[in-house]
């Protein structure tokens, strides 16, 4: 299929061809869900920690005699049932990451691209550059294209002025082609690809 290419100023810049194997699949929600879950679990720090009974500093002297009190039999004050005691079965540092085959991850990216294409939420621009690096001028350009919530994918290198101008605009994300991922594609309303990004994706899935 062919997509129209535009400039940031809204002028026509020709067309670019994309393959149905990358942008023309029928999106599957189960594959996208598995990939989003894989990404979100992988980025969890997993540093939550509570102190167990052996890690609490406290007396181990028996708090009262074994018999005759009419209450339960207790020993050290570090027991979990006492205030200030250790936590029973509390969380420990661990990795939350799950496994997902490489082929499924690659397929999920294709389905995410196809989902955006099916909903007419893909815009191809010739390049993303900014002459002055000013947020105000870039905001007016994006508004002219109707972009208020978008992910912009550039080539291998992002123009420094463009990145600096875009970082102050809420709900606009900018990533190089190496950083394209399913989660960021789905969390934004519109996907903006440069011609270099389209060529890189076609080459990647050839």
Q: Could you state, in order of their start, the residue ranges of all structural domains in the chain?
A: 2-28+96-204
User: What's the length of the chain?
Assistant: 206
CA distances from 144 to 21, 81, 159, 194 (A): 31, 63, 20, 17
pLDDT score of 60 more than 90: no
pLDDT score of 51 more than 90: yes
Would you state the pLDDT for residue 100?
97
User: Strands 12-17, 2-6: parallel, antiparallel or unpaired by DSSP?
Assistant: antiparallel
pTM, rounded to two decimals: 0.84
Helical ranges in 43-101 per DSSP H: none
Q: Which of 194, 30, 26, 189 shows the shortest CA–CA distance to 115?
A: 26
Element (H, E) at 72: none
Mean pLDDT of the chain: 94
Would you state the pLDDT for residue 31?
97
Q: Tens digit of pLDDT for each residue in 193-206? A: 999 999 999 999 98
Q: Please tell us whether the domain made up of 2-28+96-204 is placed in CATH 3.40.1370.10.
A: yes
Tokens of 24: 């023309």
Would you state the pLDDT for residue 27?
95
């Amino acid at each position: 299929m062919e997509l129209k290419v535009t400039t940031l100023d809204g002028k026509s810049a020709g067309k670019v061809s994309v393959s149905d194997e990358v942008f023309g699949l029928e999106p599957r929600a189960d594959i996208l869900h598995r990939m989003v879950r894989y990404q979100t679990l992988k980025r969890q720090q997993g540093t939550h920690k509570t102190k167990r009974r052996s890690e609490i500093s406290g007396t181990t002297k028996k708090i009262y005699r074994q018999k005759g009190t009419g209450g339960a039999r207790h020993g050290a004050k570090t027991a979990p049932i006492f205030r200030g005691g250790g936590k029973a079965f509390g969380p420990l540092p661990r990795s939350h990451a799950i496994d997902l085959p490489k082929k499924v991850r690659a397929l999920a990216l294709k389905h995410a691209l196809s989902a955006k294409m099916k909903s007419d939420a893909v815009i191809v621009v010739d390049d993303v550059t900014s002459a002055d690096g000013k947020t105000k001028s870039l905001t007016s350009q994006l508004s002219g294209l109707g972009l208020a919530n978008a992910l912009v994918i550039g080539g291998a290198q992002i123009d420094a002025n463009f990145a600096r101008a875009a970082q102050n605009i809420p709900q606009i994300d900018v990533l190089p082609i190496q950083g394209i991922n399913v989660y960021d594609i789905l969390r934004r309303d519109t996907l903006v690809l440069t011609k270099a990004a389209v060529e890189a994706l076609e080459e990647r899935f050839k």
